Amino acid sequence: MAILSCQTAGESHGPGAFALVQGMPAGLKIDAAFIDSELSRRQGGYGRGARQKIEHDRAQFLAGVRGGETTAAPILIQIANRDSRLDDPQKTPPLTRPRPGHADLAGSIKWLTTDARNVLERASARETAARTAAGALSRILLSEFNIEVFGFVRGMLDATTSIAITQENLVALRNARDRSEVYCPDPAISARIIEHIHQVKIDKDTVGGWCEVHVFGCPIGLGSCAQWDQKLDGRLAQAVMSIQAFKAVEIGLGRECGAQRGSDVHDPIQFDKSRTNEPNLGYTRPRNNAGGIEGGMSNGMPIVVRGTMKPISTLLQGMPSVDMATKQAARSEYERSDVCALPAASVVMENVVAFEIARAFLEKFGGDSIPELRANYESYLELARELPLDRKKTAPAAVEDDTET
């Protein structure tokens, strides 16, 4: 069984964005409408720029799918760009005045050029269309095992919602989020966020904020403490930090752990015999400061990840910079961009978190096909419910050895 992985390709104004997904088991039915709906949500949100009116993102499966189901072969997904103009020098001229906060300067020096065009084309957040499609595909896999992923905008500046996210109110919250222009399930906070975005647009500035993702239904034991790079929280942190413009990641209580004592931070463990058939096997907590992860492994509670997005680096007013061709002071150049992409970023974060959860799930339970994966998963839960195990029943029968010694 291959390890689930995703690699992306494509430039912002090239022919398209591409995702190569490997390790997906055979027999998963593709819900193309769901994947396209996630791509559409990624394009939406108050504060987006004019480009989103040009593009109409749809996922096209070029390999690895037959008859609407995965075949276990590598899956190639294409999201075509309508605004494809990379080889037109008039529409994509050299960029020599790097934008503070962007990859322009560092990338130009890295590849020994004074033209940041190639750098910005690849560093662009357009790349996240491919990762959103791959993540949406992984969510179809997770839904087969009743694992739900919910992402939303928590807030920005002084407008932050304190709304609680629970599995019981998940349907209502998802509906409220989808009604919001900024993907925040709190109508009052949504209105204030819109006001902030409107004002920064007037000021020719940009603004970021906080996204949050909750994962419900994860079994105990995803990830590992055996090696540092197998820890689930570390892997989730890398996935979220790799999203363009993200600068911080928190799991559960996050940075607030440093302001409280251990007795207030750690989540007491309880056992509810009536819930042993749930993925948490009956082990419950009265609170979830750990964000569903302890020791690098899922503990049966909802997984909670929060990400901080910085303001977009392209400002209409420009910022102090240097022309790399002349080394003279100059204002940074302007590329068509958004005032705020926080709502879109919450969609990307929702899907990259889902992909990492699916990767850990497949590592734990294996299987080259959906039936095999399901059998492995159910067998694990059955064994876990029987703890402590009767080793005489679970161990292979001893083989008699009549060899002379």
- For the stretch 80-135, pLDDT in tens is 998 777 778 777 889 999 999 999 999 999 999 999 999 999 999 999 999 999 99
Contact indicator for 112, 329 with CB cutoff of 8 Å = no
Q: 210, 186, 206, 188: which is closest to 197 by C-alpha?
A: 206
Chain position carrying tokens 């009956």: 282
- Asked whether residue 398 carries a pLDDT value surpassing 60, the answer given is no
- Give the pLDDT mean for 174-183: 97
pLDDT band at 51 (very low <50, low <70, confident <90, very high): low
Is 50 exceeded by the pLDDT of residue 2? yes
Express as a percent the part of the chain with pLDDT over 70: 94
Nearest CA to 49 among 350, 335, 349? 335
Query: Above 60 in pLDDT, residue 401?
Result: no
Q: Quick one: pLDDT at residue 193?
A: 97
- Return d(Cα 36, Cα 10) in angstroms, integer: 19
Q: Chain-wide mean pLDDT for the chain?
A: 93
> Does residue 69 surpass a pLDDT of 50?
yes
pLDDT of residue 404: 46
Q: Rounded to whole angstroms, how far apart are CA atoms 180 and 200?
A: 19
Q: Return the pLDDT at 86.
A: 79
Bigger pLDDT: 274 or 333?
274
Token output for 287: 């609170």
How sure is the predictor about 325, in pLDDT bands with cuts at 50, 70 and 90? very high
Encode pLDDT of 120-151 as tens digits.
999 999 999 999 999 999 999 999 999 999 99
- Give yes or no for residue 303 having a pLDDT over 50: yes
313 backbone φψ class: left, alpha, beta (φ>0; ψ -120 to 50)? alpha
Q: How sure is the predictor about 341, in pLDDT bands with cuts at 50, 70 and 90?
A: very high
The three-state DSSP-derived secondary structure of 98-109 is CCCCCCHHHHHH
DSSP 398: P
The predicted model gives 45-57 an average pLDDT of 71
- For residue 82, the model assigns a pLDDT of 86
Alpha-carbon distance of 282 to 142, in angstroms, equals: 21
pLDDT number for residue 365 = 97
For residue 93, how far is the Cα from the chain centroid? 32
What domains are there in the chain, each with its CATH number? 87-385 (3.60.150.10)
